């Protein structure tokens, strides 16, 4: 209860400051009343949906949108609050000085009047994240981007020169609310005409049934050498309550069956070999392994029991912390590891080739894009779907296409 009271108090303070700024652009009582009505509806809806919320009960679309609209108002108001508190740093000491030096002879209020231009600038700046978040909720979450990389390896088998891999990750099918947009993205994947399609975990939020409306759509995926997948932390059903362990186990079995129906070969600490012209490429898939309290079911040694040290290896591992803590320093050389998990926090700023920032960097060392250490590559896919916040701002849903080339190793 106490944390809710603190939370509501902070929101009220931000609202009061934002309202002061808002009054600088209009004095119309109807408009001002509409401001409070919208604010109360959004905070009321948020509290209604989240008071007493238990993540184990599941996360619905109404929870997502309540959270999304709350963030859409809170972030701009916090920007206004910071700007106007900055002004108060000067106004308050000045008011105290006037109180003690002028006393009852002071004219008017001890506080100097707010400067309208500061309020207007604060509102103008705050309008940018507000518009961005609203766009992210309605358009950004389906703003699919195809990111292409070419990686060169000296020890790539000649038969695989020019081999194309499409990576998809973090589908989170239970979050989708537009079947047609998902269908468009699946067609976009097929248009890449890659040799193989690799999915790196989190097919659902919690339950296998989330995937049912999309089985036909995902079943359209095609690649010459097939479709392969691994499990992510959400696929195990660990974040919701079950009537019994048997029910939880059956949910995972149902998810495995759904993936098979789509056409995925699910690798559970296993490996497969793709062969061409008498040469082979080792495809390794581990179960989820992550730091920070996430499931550590991945077993790299078990997954590679049939793989030779000199095989060219592509590893699928959902969480990039596995690469950081285990993979890159392993006795085996893993040429390319494909991960996801972070979603790039679904929020950030990217100028391709120039600049990349997201709050995700405070949690993950490797959070989005391609990394290279000791001649081993890691690609952290930004995710195909979304979770919790029903949108994406600046960090768009990603389809990764990686072409493998024979030659001098990529630096």
**pLDDT, average across residues 170-177:** 96
Are the beta carbons of 203 and 232 closer than 8 angstroms? yes
Q: Tell me how far apart the alpha carbons of residues 268 and 229 are, in angstroms, rounded to a whole number.
A: 9
Q: Does residue 7 have a pLDDT over 80?
A: no
Helices within 263-319 (DSSP H only): 300-303
Q: 106: pLDDT confidence band, cut at 50, 70 and 90? A: low
Q: 364: pLDDT confidence band, cut at 50, 70 and 90? A: very high
Q: Does residue 108 have a pLDDT over 60?
A: no
8 vs 74, which has greater pLDDT?
74
Instruction: Sketch the domain layout of the chain as residue ranges.
Output: 2-138, 144-406
| pLDDT single digits (tens) 221-261 | 999 999 999 999 999 999 999 999 999 999 999 999 999 99
Nearest CA to 291 out of 259, 263, 316, 323 is that of 323
DSSP E strands: which ranges in 176-329?
Answer: 196-200, 227-230, 264-266, 270-276, 279-285, 312-316
| pLDDT single digits (tens) 58-77 | 778 899 999 999 999 999 99
Instruction: Give the least confident one: 82-91, 108-117, 146-155, 175-184.
Output: 108-117
Q: 109: pLDDT confidence band, cut at 50, 70 and 90? A: low
Token pair 């008017």: residue: 108
Helix or strand run (H / E) with residue 336: strand 336-339
Radius of gyration of the chain (CA): 26
How far the first Cα of the chain sits from its last, in Å, is 54
Q: Tell me how far apart the alpha carbons of residues 141 and 129 are, in angstroms, rounded to a whole number.
A: 16
Structure confidence at residue 47 (pLDDT): 87
Structure confidence at residue 1 (pLDDT): 60
Structure confidence at residue 276 (pLDDT): 95
- Give me the residues paired with residue 356 across strands: 350
Structure confidence at residue 311 (pLDDT): 98
Q: Does residue 90 have a pLDDT over 70?
A: no
> What is the rounded average pLDDT for all residues in the chain?
92
| pLDDT single digits (tens) 117-128 | 788 888 999 999
The burial class, CB within 10 Å (0-12 / 13-18 / 19+), for 48 is exposed
Instruction: Give the least confident one: 90-104, 254-268, 389-403.
Output: 90-104
Structure confidence at residue 239 (pLDDT): 93
Q: Does residue 164 have a pLDDT over 70?
A: yes
As a whole-number percent, the residues of the chain with pLDDT over 90 amount to: 76
The burial class, CB within 10 Å (0-12 / 13-18 / 19+), for 245 is exposed
**179 secondary structure, DSSP code:** H
Q: Does residue 294 have a pLDDT over 90?
A: yes
Structure confidence at residue 25 (pLDDT): 85
Q: 12: pLDDT confidence band, cut at 50, 70 and 90? A: confident
* Percent composition of the chain: helix, strand, coil (DSSP 3-state, to 5): 45, 20, 35
265 vs 22, which has greater pLDDT?
265
What is the pTM for the complete model shown? Answer: 0.91
The reply to whether CATH 3.30.390.50 applies to domain 144-406 is no
Nearest CA to 406 out of 160, 223, 64 is that of 160
Phi-psi label, residue 141: left if phi above 0, alpha if psi -120 to 50, beta otherwise: alpha
């Amino acid at each position: 209860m106490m944390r809710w009271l603190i939370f509501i108090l902070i929101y009220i303070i931000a609202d009061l400051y934002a309202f002061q700024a808002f009054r600088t652009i209009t004095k119309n009582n109807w408009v001002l009343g509409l401001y409070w009505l919208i604010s109360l509806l959004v905070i009321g809806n948020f509290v209604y949906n989240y008071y007493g919320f238990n993540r184990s009960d599941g996360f619905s679309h109404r929870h997502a949108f309540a959270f999304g609209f709350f963030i859409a108002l809170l972030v701009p108001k916090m920007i206004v609050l910071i700007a106007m508190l900055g002004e108060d740093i000067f106004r308050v000491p000045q008011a105290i000085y006037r109180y003690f030096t002028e006393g009852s002879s002071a004219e008017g209020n001890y506080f100097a009047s707010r400067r309208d231009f500061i309020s207007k600038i604060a509102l103008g700046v705050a309008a940018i994240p507000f518009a961005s978040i609203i766009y992210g909720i309605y358009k950004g979450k389906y703003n699919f981007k195809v990111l292409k990389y070419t990686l060169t390896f000296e020890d790539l088998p000649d038969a695989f020169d020019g081999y194309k891999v499409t990576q998809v990750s973090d589908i989170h099918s239970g979050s989708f609310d537009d079947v047609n947009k998902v269908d468009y993205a699946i067609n976009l994947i097929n248009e890449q005409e890659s040799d193989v399609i690799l999915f790196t975990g989190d097919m659902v939020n919690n339950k296998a049934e989330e995937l049912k409306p999309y089985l036909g759509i995902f079943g359209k995926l095609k690649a010459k050498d097939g479709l392969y997948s691994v499990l992510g932390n959400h696929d195990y059903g660990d974040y919701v309550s079950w009537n019994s362990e048997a029910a939880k186990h059956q949910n995972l079995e149902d998810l495995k069956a759904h993936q098979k129906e789509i056409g995925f070969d699910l690798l559970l600490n296993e490996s497969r070999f793709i062969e061409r012209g008498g040469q082979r490429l080792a495809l390794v898939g581990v179960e989820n392994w992550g730091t920070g309290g996430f499931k550590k079911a991945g077993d790299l040694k078990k997954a590679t029991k049939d793989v030779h040290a000199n095989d060219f290896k592509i590893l699928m591992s959902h969480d990039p912390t596995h690469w950081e803590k285990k993979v890159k320093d392993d006795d085996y050389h893993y040429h390319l590891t494909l991960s996801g998990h972070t979603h790039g926090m679904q929020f950030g700023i990217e100028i391709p080739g120039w600049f990349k920032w997201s709050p995700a960097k405070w949690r993950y060392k490797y959070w989005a894009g391609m990394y290279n250490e000791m001649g081993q590559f890691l690609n952290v896919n930004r995710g195909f779907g979304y979770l919790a916040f029903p949108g994406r701002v600046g960090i768009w849903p990603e389809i990764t296409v990686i072409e493998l080339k024979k030659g001098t190793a990529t630096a």
